[in-house]
């Protein structure tokens, strides 16, 4: 599990806590290689776009504590990126984006 963290936004702090909790738990909540991204970052749009192009599953953490899993488009199925609840995805963390 990797992390890039510069605390300073409410969503970044929540996401950092969530990643720390997952590191010591045995929950299977997120897809393997999921990227955590704080929604209140100034460059949120640029980062999420880049990660979707790389094929990453992204866990967006909002300042109010909500989270949303965004999965990239599967070109074999010709579907667009989709968002879903994180309650039914397998666990794994690839990157965490805090404030840059």
pLDDT, tens only, 56-98: 889 999 999 999 999 876 666 554 455 554 544 444 444 555 5
CA-wise closest residue to 1 among 26, 33, 30: 33
Query: Tell me: the pLDDT tens digits for 6-47?
Result: 557 899 889 888 888 888 888 778 888 888 999 999 899 999
The answer to whether position 2 is within a domain reads: no
Query: Quick check: is 4 in a domain?
Result: no
Is residue 1 in a domain? no
Q: Residue 27 sits in which domain range?
A: 10-97
Tell me the CA distances in angstroms from 13 to 9, 24, 50, 81, 82, one per residue in order.
6, 17, 22, 26, 25
Distance CA 88, CA 82 (A): 14
Quote the pTM value. 0.67
Are residues 17 and 46 in contact, defined by beta-carbon separation less than 8 angstroms? Answer: no
Give me 28's structure tokens: 């299977």
Structure confidence at residue 4 as a pLDDT band (50, 70, 90): very low
């Amino acid at each position: 599990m990797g992390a890039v963290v510069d605390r300073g936004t409410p969503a970044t702090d929540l996401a950092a806590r969530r990643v720390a909790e997952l590191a010591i738990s045995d929950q299977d909540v997120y897809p393997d290689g999921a990227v955590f991204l704080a929604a209140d970052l100034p460059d949120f749009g640029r980062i999420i776009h880049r990660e979707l192009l790389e094929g990453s599953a992204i866990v967006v953490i909002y300042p109010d504590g909500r989270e949303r899993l965004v999965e990239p488009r599967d070109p074999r199925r010709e579907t667009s990126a989709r968002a879903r609840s994180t309650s039914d995805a397998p666990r794994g963390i690839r990157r965490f984006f805090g404030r840059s």
